[in-house]
Amino acid sequence: MDADTVDLRSIFDLLKRRIGIILVCTALAVAAAGAALVALKPVYSATALILVDPSKKNLLDPETQLPASSFDSLRVDSEVELVKSETTLLAVADDLELPTDPEFGLRLGMRDMLLAFFRIAEPRLPTGDEALAAVIRNLRDSVTVQRRGLTFLIAVTARSGRPAFAARIANAMARTYIGQQLDAKVASTLASAGIIKDRIAAASATVAQSERAFGEFVDQNLDRISDATGRTDFAQLRNEIASLNAFRTQSGAVAESAEHSLARRDWEAVAASLKDEAVRNLDRQRVALLGSIAGAEEGSEAAFDLRSSLANVETQLGDAAARAVAGLRQDLATSQGRIAALRARLRTSILDSDLPSEILTGIYELQQTAEIARAQYQTLLTRQKDLDTQAYLQVADSRLVAEATPPDAPSFPNPRLFLLLAGLAGLGLGVGLAFLVENFVGGFTSEQQAEAILKAPVVSAIPRQRPVRHEDGEALTVADSLILAPLSIYSESIRRVRIGIDQAVRRNRGNRPPEQGAGIVIVVSSAAPREGKTTVALSLARAYALSGMSALLVDCDLRKPSVHRMLGMEASEGLLEYLAGGASDLQSILTIDRGSGARIVPGSRRSDIATDQLVAGTTFARLIAAARMNFDIVVLDTPPVGPIVDGLYLAGMADAIAFVVKFSSTPQQEVKAAMASLIGAKADDVPILTILNQQTNNPATYRGKYAGYYAEA
């Protein structure tokens, strides 16, 4: 299969093999999430909705409201930033008294509490600006302000451990923002009105200046105008205007002085200023009453009557003085109107006259300047009045369309979502650990993986096989499948191992010296115990024997022999006696496998001496040489090379090494270390052929695809 191809069946089998890891990780994650749900404090969320109306509004003239424009969307985004601004947060914190609130106020952090608990440092709460900044930070962290899609709605969401307080915060944020928006509009309008007031004063001065300029021009050129037009009434009108101006100035001064004296109740000064006969008569009565009061006995009835009469006279005197002042003011207004009428008459008469061009041009220029100044002045007055009115008729551009209400359930933590996410996280972690165990920490799971990592060919993947049963129901060993179920998947896998070894030896047989004999020595090894190495060795010897070749199986695992148990026989001391020099020849320690005809040198009890001395000695070398001369195939069942060194000595005698690796079990690093040891111990031309043993997914696959070719074991 191509390395880039995804094998879904292999992935499914991997997950099935490591289902324990996946379930444990998922259960632990869900349990941790459950514990967290119990420990976490519930948080409630409440949301208030604000509608922003970006159209311009004028309550004095509703028809002038402008529709929304394309820039109003940016305006809404700006309003979002204003809602969560520092100014709004400060106002809300002050309104809700958050500095003293147990949830948002100042409190010791976990770090400070730990330092205080271990007496490393004394806890200290912030004060002043630092304390206020901490409160604002807590409030900002508990509030979320965002725009709802592309609408003009702004959602203000507040979170708190108290449902009612969460709603209170959200509503306070919304109302504070709207109030600040309205205050800003009023302040802006009043500021504009103040600017216009300053401009009005300047415009008034400009109007007065333009009027004076026109009058001065007429006064300076009146003689020329009279001479040019032949009219003498211009001078009469000017004299009359001057006389009225003098009267207005004098009467204004008198009225001003009288009003000041009247305000101070200085009756003598009032009478002197007004020179009104009625006022003077009342003032004389007042003076006479004062003299009488001075001559009367203090506290007498006569003195009381005199004082009552004095108060009555002073009241009449005030009323008479007020009437006199009002009359003066009326005369002033009349004279002002008369002056205005005479000026207009003079101006009209002059303009209607046949004037020289230079005079007419000067008059026209001054007249236009005066009219422009008056128009500007009038416009400013009108605008000031509008602004003064608008300042108290402003409405906010935003309004609260949905108040926040206390929520019924907490928004965090959400038990279902929390447990679901924890389960998914645990499931993902379990799957990741399963792949990690399979591909790095665990064993090999495919022939391609084993070949890529070990750099050695895999001759066969032997499926996991149940022990066969005899006709009488007696349970036998897996190796008995070669005899009792020769058409089973297991038997075919062993034959595949045999042909792989034959092909590898055939390629290298010409390099072996002739004196080594014709027999082939096959060393069956593994990295660790319980890899199925002995079963493969016995099965391989039987496969060769059943094919008509003379085969010998030697149980070289002197520390933990097991071939005799698979054959159902008693342990023999023959091999140990032979190696120790007690047995005379090889034939004396051989046993015949009745099912296949293979010769077996079974093991015995555990050796009491170092076994490497036995397998590395000359006696064992003579045994192997004799076996080569008498058998076509010599299979050596060796101890695992990981814990025992014997296999490395035996590897030096091999023509081929069958390296058994248990499927998805033996750690890869352990297998690689054992493979490196064998490579260093064997001859350069001796091939190492990997056998992936006890594979779990092949039986079902082969039975499904090749049901007609295999028989059940």
Give the highest mean pLDDT range of 75-84, 164-173, 278-287, 472-481: 164-173
Q: Which domain holds residue 11?
A: 1-39+424-440
For residue 94, give Cα distances in angstroms to 53, 87, 357: 28, 11, 74
| Residue 474, number of CB atoms within 10 A of its CB | 9
Please state whether 591 falls in left (phi above 0), alpha (psi between -120 and 50) or beta: beta
Please report, as a single letter, which amino acid is at residue 313: V
Q: How many CA atoms lie within 13 A of 354 on its CB side?
A: 4
Q: Is the pLDDT reported for residue 669 higher than 80?
A: yes
Same domain, 540 and 608: yes
| 623 and 645 both lie in a single domain | yes
- Asked if residue 14 is part of any domain, the answer here is yes
Where is pLDDT greater, at 390 or 651?
Answer: 651
- DSSP string of 228-268, one letter each residue: HHT-SHHHHHHHHHHHHHHHHHHHHHHHHHHHHHHHHT-HH
Residue 45: inside a domain: no
Q: Which of 51-60, 194-203, 212-221, 704-713 has the lowest mean pLDDT?
A: 704-713
Alpha helices (runs of H) in 437-594, residue ranges in sequence order: 447-454, 481-484, 489-508, 533-546, 563-566, 574-579
Most confidently predicted of 337-341, 343-347, 498-502, 577-581? 498-502
Cα→Cα distances 633→493, 534, 540, Å: 19, 16, 10
pLDDT, residue 514, reads 47
At 391, the pLDDT band (50, 70, 90 cuts) reads: low
192 backbone φψ class: left, alpha, beta (φ>0; ψ -120 to 50): alpha
Give me the mean pLDDT over the 536-553 stretch.
93
Which of 230-244, 287-301, 523-537 is predicted most confidently? 523-537
Q: Within the chain, what is the greatest distance between any pair of CA atoms? A: 177
Give the separation between CA 77 and CA 72, rounded to whole angstroms. 9
Most confident of 322-331, 473-482, 673-682: 673-682
- Given a cut of 70, whether residue 628 has pLDDT beyond it is yes
Count the neighbouring beta carbons within 10 Å of the beta carbon of residue 188.
12
Structure tokens at 575: 């091999």
In a domain, 53, yes or no: no
The answer to whether the beta carbons of residues 404 and 166 sit under 8 Å apart is yes
Mean pLDDT throughout 97-123? Answer: 70
Contact 538, 566 (CB under 8 A): yes
6: how many CB neighbours lie within 10 A of its CB?
Answer: 8
As a whole number of angstroms, the distance between CA 290 and CA 564 comes to 156
Residue 48, CB half-sphere, CA atoms under 13 Å: how many? 26
Reported as a pLDDT band with limits 50, 70 and 90, residue 1 is very low
Q: Are residues 433 and 449 in the same domain?
A: no
Above 90 in pLDDT, residue 396? no
Q: Is residue 274 part of a domain?
A: no
Most confidently modeled of 306-315, 490-499, 597-606, 689-698? 490-499
Helix axes 19-39, 415-436, angle to 10 degrees: 150
Q: Is residue 273 part of a domain?
A: no
Handedness of CA 634, 638, 641, 644 (dihedral sign): negative
- pLDDT for residue 297: 76
> What kind and span of H or E run contains 216?
helix 163-229
Which pair of tokens denotes residue 307?
A: 């004082």
Residue with structure tokens 């007065």?
Answer: 208
- 456 with 576, same domain: the answer is yes
Same domain membership, residue 493 and residue 429: no
User: Which H or E run contains 44?
Assistant: strand 44-52
User: Residue 416's pLDDT is what?
Assistant: 87
Query: When comparing pLDDT for 313 and 30, which is higher?
Result: 30
Q: State the pLDDT at residue 70.
A: 59
Does residue 436 share a domain with residue 573?
no
Greatest mean pLDDT range, 73-82, 117-126, 242-251: 73-82
| pTM of structure | 0.52
Reading the block at residue 353, the tokens are: 């006259």
Q: What is the mean pLDDT of residues 315-336?
A: 82
Q: Which of 687, 661, 693, 692 is nearest to 521 (CA)?
A: 687
pLDDT reported for residue 197: 82
Cα distance between residue 651 and residue 675, in whole Å: 11
Q: How many CB atoms lie within 10 A of CB 383?
A: 15
**Predicted local distance difference test score (pLDDT) of residue 488:** 86
What six digits make up the tokens of 113? 């509490």
Query: Is residue 663 situated within a structural domain?
Result: yes
Residue 300 has pLDDT above 90, yes or no: no
pLDDT of residue 343: 73
Q: What sign does the dihedral 278-282-285-291 (CA atoms) show?
A: negative
Check whether residue 533 and residue 593 sit in a common domain. Answer: yes
The answer to whether residues 405 and 194 touch, using CB atoms and an 8 Å cutoff, is no
Lowest mean pLDDT among 61-65, 113-117, 213-217, 706-710: 61-65
- Do 579 and 617 meet the contact criterion of CB atoms below 8 Å apart? yes
Nearest in space to 633 (alpha carbons), one of 514, 511, 508, 498: 498
Residue 23 or residue 445, greater confidence: 23
pLDDT at residue 154 in the model: 93
DSSP string, 325-367: HHHHHHHHHHHHHHHHHHHHHHHHHHHHS---HHHHHHHHHHH
Residue predicted with more confidence, 310 or 226 = 310
Return d(Cα 550, Cα 548) in angstroms, integer: 7
User: Residues 567, 432: one domain?
Assistant: no
Is 165 a residue whose pLDDT tops 90? Answer: yes
Rounded (5°) CA angle 633-636-642: 145
Instruction: Check whether residue 695 and residue 633 sit in a common domain.
Output: yes
Q: In a 10 Å sphere around its CB, with 0-12 CB exposed, 13-18 middle and 19+ buried, how is residue 656 labelled?
A: buried
- Give the DSSP letter string of 66-133: PPP-TTHHHHHHHHHHHHTSHHHHHHHHHHTTGGG-TTTS----HHHHHHHHTTSS------HHHHHH
Mean pLDDT computed over 239-248? 78
The yes-or-no verdict on residue 67 having pLDDT over 70 is no
Best mean pLDDT range from 388-402, 404-418, 556-570: 404-418
Distance between CA 709 and CA 554 in Å, rounded? 33
What integer pLDDT is reported at residue 169 of this predicted model? 95
Highest mean pLDDT, choosing among 1-10, 155-164, 228-237, 571-580: 155-164
Which two tokens mark 287?
């003076």
Considering the domain boundaries, does residue 307 fall inside one? no
* 383's tokens: 């605008």
Cα 124 from Cα 122, distance rounded (Å): 6
Note whether 175 and 205 are within 8 A (CB): no
* Count of beta carbons in the 10 Å neighbourhood of residue 540: 27
pLDDT (tens digit, 9 = 90+) per residue, 552-565?
Answer: 999 888 888 888 88
Q: Cβ–Cβ contacts within 10 Å for residue 143, how many?
A: 21
Q: What are phi and psi of 242, to 5 degrees?
A: -65, -40
Same domain, 630 and 694: yes
For the chain, the average pLDDT equals 81
Regarding whether 645 and 583 lie in a shared domain, the answer is yes
State how far the Cα of 318 lies from the Cα of 322, in Å rounded to an integer: 6
Query: What distance in Å separates the CA atoms of residue 271 and residue 166, rounded to the nearest whole number?
Result: 75
C-alpha distance from residue 569 to each of 176, 383, 566, 593 (Å): 96, 122, 8, 11
pLDDT in tens, 569-620: 776 666 777 777 655 566 777 888 888 899 998 876 666 667 777 788 888 8
Number of domains in the chain: 2
Q: What is the pLDDT of residue 428?
A: 92
What CATH number does residue 688 fall under?
A: 3.40.50.300
- The answer to whether residue 676 is domain-embedded is yes
| Residue 539 in this model has a pLDDT that exceeds 70 | yes
- At 262, list the tokens: 């009247």
**What DSSP assignment string belongs to 562-606?**
-HHHHTT----SHHHHHHTT----GGGG-EE-TTT--EEE---SP
For the ranges 12-16, 428-432, 561-565, the maximum mean pLDDT occurs at 428-432
Q: How far apart are CA 417 and CA 407, in angstroms?
A: 18
- Between vectors from CA 426 to CA 420 and to CA 429, what angle results, nearest 5°? 140
Do 432 and 526 reside in the same domain of the chain?
Answer: no
Q: What is the pLDDT of residue 53?
A: 84
